[in-house]
C-alpha cells in the first residue's frame, strides 16, 4: 500500500508514521516529492492496522498498490533506483558496457578478450562458466575452472565480473568470484534460484525469459526483491516471435515501458537479442537512444572458433568501433558511456 502524507506533515510526524509502519511489520520506502511525501509499504495488512495508520497524525490517506509487482513498481518507489557493482553504477547518468565472450573457454581466450575490451572502455567483464545450453550435447561450460579463469581476468583488468549461476547450490561458489550474478533467460522463472540469489547480498542481473511478458519478468524480479536483495538490474535480451531472420526479436520498447512502470535499471543485450554480430552495433545505438541503463555485448577474438555464440560475437575491433559510436549517441541523449 501507499501511505500518502499531508502536505503540511512535519518531519517528526513523518518519522513517527515510518516507525509505526515498521512496528506493524511493514517494509517501507520513502519518496519525497516536491509537494508531498509518500511511503511505499509492503507487509501484511489488517483492517485494524489500516485504521490506526489512517488516524496517525500527518497521514492523508492510504491507497492500495494496484500493480501485481509490489516492490519492483514505481508505485512503491517513485524515483529510479541505482545499482552499484563495485565502482560501476547502473541507473545513473553513465551507461556501463559489459563485454566478454559467451563462454569462458580457456585462460588464453578469456584474458585476450578481457584485455581488449578493457582497453576499449568496457566497464565490466562477462563470461559464462556454467552454460545452460538448449542442447545437452552442446558445450556446457568449464564450471569451477571457468570461475578461476574469470577471477584471473578480473585481477588482470581490475574490472568487475558478471557470470551466470544456474543452480541454487552453486550460488556460494559463484559469489566467491562474481561481482554480479546473471540469471539467464531460461532460468527467469526458476523460483528456487531467484530466492537463492535474493538471499545473497550481491547484485543480480535478471534476463528476460524467452517468452516472458514484461509483467512476468517483473514478477520474477519480485522474487529476488522480496527475498531481501534490492540490487536487481533487468536485461532485455530478445523474445521469441514468428520472425526467423533474427535469433530473437529485440524488444527495445521494453526499455521505456520498464522505466515507466518500474524503478529498476534496465540494460540491453543486443547479442542474444539478434543473434547476428552485424546487428549488434545498430541495436546498441538504438538501445542507448531508447534510454537503456547499460549494454551487455559478446566479444570474441576468434568468433569462427568460438565454442558458443560465435555468429553474434563482435571482434575486438568491431567492439572498439561500437564503443566510439555509442558514446556519440549517449551524449545526444544526455548520458555518458
**Residue 303 found at the interface with ligand PEP (CB under 6 A):** no
Asked whether the beta carbons of 330 and 290 are under 8 A apart, the reply is no
Span of 22-30, 100-108, 143-151, 315-323 interacting with Mn ion by CB under 5 A:
100-108
**Residue 29 found at the interface with ligand PEP (CB under 6 A):** no
Strand, coil or helix: 337: coil
Q: Which of 5, 38, 102, 129 binds ligand PEP (CB under 6 A)?
A: 102
Alpha helix (H) residue ranges in 206-300: 214-226, 254-261, 270-274, 277-289
**Residue 128 found at the interface with ligand PEP (CB under 6 A):** yes
Nearest approach in angstroms of CB 298 to ligand PEP is: 7
User: In the 8-state DSSP scheme, what is residue 77?
Assistant: -
Nearest approach in angstroms of CB 269 to Mn ion is: 9
Nearest approach in angstroms of CB 271 to Mn ion is: 7
Q: Which of 21, 98, 102, 212 binds Mn ion (CB under 5 A)?
A: 102
Phi, then psi, of 238 in degrees rounded to 5: 90, 150
Contacts of residue 106, Cβ cutoff 8 Å, sequence gap at least 6: 149
By rule CB under 6 A, what string of x and - marks binding of each residue 226-265 to ligand PEP? Answer: -----------x----------------------------
Residue with cell 568470484: 177
What dihedral do alpha carbons 319, 118, 229, 273 form, nearest 10°?
10
Residue 237 interacting partner from ligand PEP, Mn ion, none (CB closer than 5 to 8 Å by kind): ligand PEP
Based on CB atoms, which residue is closest to Mn ion, 170 or 309? Answer: 309
Asked whether the beta carbons of 167 and 126 are under 8 A apart, the reply is no
Full DSSP string of 130-196: S---SSTTS----THHHHHHHHHHHHHH---EEEE---GGGHHHHHTT-SEEEE-GGGTT-HHHHHH
Q: Which of 74, 272, 300, 335 binds ligand PEP (CB under 6 A)?
A: 272
By rule CB under 5 A, what string of x and - marks binding of each residue 287-326 to Mn ion? Answer: ----------------------x-----------------
Phi, then psi, of 136 in degrees rounded to 5: -70, -10
Binding-site residue total for ligand PEP (CB under 6 A)?
A: 8
Residue nearest to ligand PEP (CB): 184
Residue 316 interacting partner from Mn ion, ligand PEP, none (CB closer than 5 to 8 Å by kind): none
2, 62, 289 from 203: Cα distances, Å: 26, 32, 25
The residues that touch ligand PEP, with contacts defined as CB under 6 A, are: 102, 128, 184-186, 207, 237, 272
The residues that touch Mn ion, with contacts defined as CB under 5 A, are: 102, 309
Amino acid at each position: 500500500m501507499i501511505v500518502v502524507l499531508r502536505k503540511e506533515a512535519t518531519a517528526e510526524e513523518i518519522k513517527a508514521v515510518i516507525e509505526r509502519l515498521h512496528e506493524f511489520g511493514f517494509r517501507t520506502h520513502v519518496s519525497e516529492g516536491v509537494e508531498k511525501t509518500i511511503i511505499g509499504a509492503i507487509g501484511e495488512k489488517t483492517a485494524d492496522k489500516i485504521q490506526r495508520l489512517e488516524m496517525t497524525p500527518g497521514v492523508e490517506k492510504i491507497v492500495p498498490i494496484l500493480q501485481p509487482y509490489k516492490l519492483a513498481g514505481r508505485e512503491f518507489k517513485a524515483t529510479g533506483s541505482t545499482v552499484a557493482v563495485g565502482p560501476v553504477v547502473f541507473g545513473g547518468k553513465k551507461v556501463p558496457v559489459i563485454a566478454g565472450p559467451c563462454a569462458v573457454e580457456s585462460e588464453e581466450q578469456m584474458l585476450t578478450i578481457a584485455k581488449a575490451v578493457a582497453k576499449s572502455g568496457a566497464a565490466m567483464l562477462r563470461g559464462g562458466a556454467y552454460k545452460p545450453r538448449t542442447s545437452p550435447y552442446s558445450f556446457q561450460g568449464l564450471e569451477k575452472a571457468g570461475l578461476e579463469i574469470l577471477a584471473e581476468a578480473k585481477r588482470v583488468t581490475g574490472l568487475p565480473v558478471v557470470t551466470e549461476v544456474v543452480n541454487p547450490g552453486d550460488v556460494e561458489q559463484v559469489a566467491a568470484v562474481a561481482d554480479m550474478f546473471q540469471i539467464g533467460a531460461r532460468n527467469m522463472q526458476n523460483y528456487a534460484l531467484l530466492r537463492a540469489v535474493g538471499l545473497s547480498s550481491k547484485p543480480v542481473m535478471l534476463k528476460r525469459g524467452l517468452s516472458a511478458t514484461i509483467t512476468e519478468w517483473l514478477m520474477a524480479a519480485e522474487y529476488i526483491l522480496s527475498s531481501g536483495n534490492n540490487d536487481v538490474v533487468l536485461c532485455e535480451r530478445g523474445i521469441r516471435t514468428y520472425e526467423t531472420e533474427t535469433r530473437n526479436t529485440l524488444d527495445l520498447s521494453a526499455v521505456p515501458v520498464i522505466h515507466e512502470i518500474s524503478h529498476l535499471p534496465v540494460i540491453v543485450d543486443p547479442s542474444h537479442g539478434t543473434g547476428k554480430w552485424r546487428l549488434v552495433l545498430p541495436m546498441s545505438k538504438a538501445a542507448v537512444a531508447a534510454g537503456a541503463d547499460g549494454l551487455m555485448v559478446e566479444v570474441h577474438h576468434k568468433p569462427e572458433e568460438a565454442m558458443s555464440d560465435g555468429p553474434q560475437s563482435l571482434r575486438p575491433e568491431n567492439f572498439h568501433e561500437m564503443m566510439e559510436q555509442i558514446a556519440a549517441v549517449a551524449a545526444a541523449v544526455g548520458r555518458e558511456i
